[in-house]
Amino acid sequence: MGTNPLKLLLEAPKTPLLRSTGFKTAVLFGVLAVTAVWLALSDLSPDLSHLDVKVLSGNERGNYYSIVTNLATEAENKQGRVTNVASLGSVDNVEQLVAAKRSCEVELALVQDGLDWPSGHKLELVGRLSKSETVFFLGKSADQIKTYADLRGKRIGIGSTGSGADRIARQLFGTGALRTLEVTLENHTLEEQLARLESGALDLGVLVIDEDATLVEEAVRVRGLQIASFQNADVIARKLPFARVGRIGAGQYDPLRMLPPEDKRVLRVGTLIVGNGCASRSELQSFMGLIATVFPDFVRHNRDTPNMTGLPLSPAARTYFDNQGPDVVGEYAPWVIDVMPTASWIQLLFGISILFNVMTFWHKFRLWRIDANRVRLEGFLPLIFGPTWTPAEIASQEPTEVHRERATRDRLDAAIGRFQALADTARAQSLSVLVPMGQEMSYRYQEEIIERTLAALRQFRSKLGQ
């Protein structure tokens, strides 16, 4: 009775849905579609969500605090976080930064150039701001000050202990002939110092601050304080390698009342960004990107200015300046450069490439030696079997009287031993880590040829008996 093909087809076992080709294809295209939609709707532009650093600045009315506040606002707009930590000033910043090396409570600080770094500090330079700060000598009668000699016997406020103004003033009046001026240096908070200057309790007050700071304009326009000018400022600047001479233009703070009434020659000092090594590479570069946003010539200024601070330049900062911007890999995949700098990744990949090439060369060399040794061994077989020595012919050949001779049997046993040793070598080398992935089959091919010959030789040897 004939079999109904349709019935056989209907009674054929059904493929489970989850294992069917159609279902797998549908799932694949579904995943691709979802991925495409996700990519289309996602914002893949880099952000600063990985940035979370604390930065020591200074007095809340000072320039450093204002700078870090601007950086914090810029970071917040890009999903980053910069915490502004108020302090007593530059010296205090350095002390706190060194103390936080182990706990990493703070990672960065703004400090004045020219500080003495504590021994064993392990601090590093991240960069310097392109706009220097001005060393102001403010007072009710400061317009009468024309030279440093006019400071003799003055009572001078120098800010809080640990502030940059305190440090600059003590360096200045500890330099050469200025030590003989018999000035009285007093430490006060910023607000106390301004109040004492306004009342005349202090003859002069030292402020180290941005010349465009609101506090300076208020001191000149509202409090009626004047700015001292030093004709021989360049002489002092030469003895303080971190300082240079600047100018405050006449009428800069009030062009109608002409405040100040004439140009003022003043000292200026640079502002450094210093780290203690706690911030990651990606955080440092992201923070530097914020600085470059607020100070557009930040990169150019640092590339053109030699590092005379006595601090080593941070490797992350060096990369940033060399590339004239952020590391592209670090911008899109910050964790990558936190593990290792991009240049090191490239070197690693280059090294791996060389390693693989060497492995390939050594693999091909050893494979060539196995093939050459096999061919050499096969060259001895005609001495035993004559011209008919293929494995199939050897296996089917019947022994002759010559084959039964002791010398021939010894020669055959030696051939079997050498072929076996070559087979063992091929197997061992095929399992070596030096064999490139997927190249094991080349050894398998050699093993197959050797094993066929070995099987034929052993079969023929069994015919000879002992």
CATH of domain 133-269: 3.40.190.10
Range 185-210 average pLDDT: 93
Q: Residue 342: which of 358, 364, 323 has the closest Cα?
A: 323
Look up residue 159 and give its two tokens: 């800010």
Tell me the per-residue pLDDT of 182-195, one tens digit each, with 9 for 90 and over. Answer: 999 999 998 999 99
What percent of the chain lies above the pLDDT cut of 90?
35
The domain ranges of the chain are: 52-130+273-333, 133-269, 345-462
Is pLDDT at 466 greater than 80 in this prediction? no
Give CA–CA dist 206/235, Å, rounded. Answer: 19
Q: What is the pTM of this model?
A: 0.65
Q: Are 100 and 106 in contact (CB under 8 A)?
A: yes
- Mean pLDDT is highest, among 42-46, 260-264, 325-329, 359-363, for 260-264
CA atoms lying within 13 Å on the CB side of residue 25: 3
Range 2-27 average pLDDT: 57
Is pLDDT at 447 greater than 60 in this prediction? yes
- Same topology, domains 52-130+273-333 and 133-269? Answer is yes
- Mean pLDDT is highest, among 12-26, 45-59, 282-296, for 282-296
Confidence label for 3 from pLDDT (cuts 50, 70 and 90): low
Is pLDDT at 384 greater than 60 in this prediction? yes
Is pLDDT at 144 greater than 90 in this prediction? yes
Is pLDDT at 434 greater than 80 in this prediction? no
The reported pLDDT for the residue numbered 44 is: 46
- What angle is formed at CA 324 by the lines to CA 345 and CA 305, rounded to 5 degrees? 120
Look up residue 55 and give its two tokens: 């930065």
Is pLDDT at 45 greater than 80 in this prediction? no
Range 122-133 average pLDDT: 92
Range 324-353 average pLDDT: 67
Range 250-267 average pLDDT: 94
Is domain 52-130+273-333 classified as CATH 1.10.1060.10? Answer: no
Q: b/e string for 207-243 if b means 16 or more Cβ within 10 A?
A: bbbbbebebbeebbeeeebbbbbbeebeebbeebebb
Convert 248-308 into a string of H (helix), E (strand) and C (coil): ECCCCCECCCCECCCCEEEEEECEEEEECCCCCHHHHHHHHHHHHHHCCCHHHHHHHCCCC
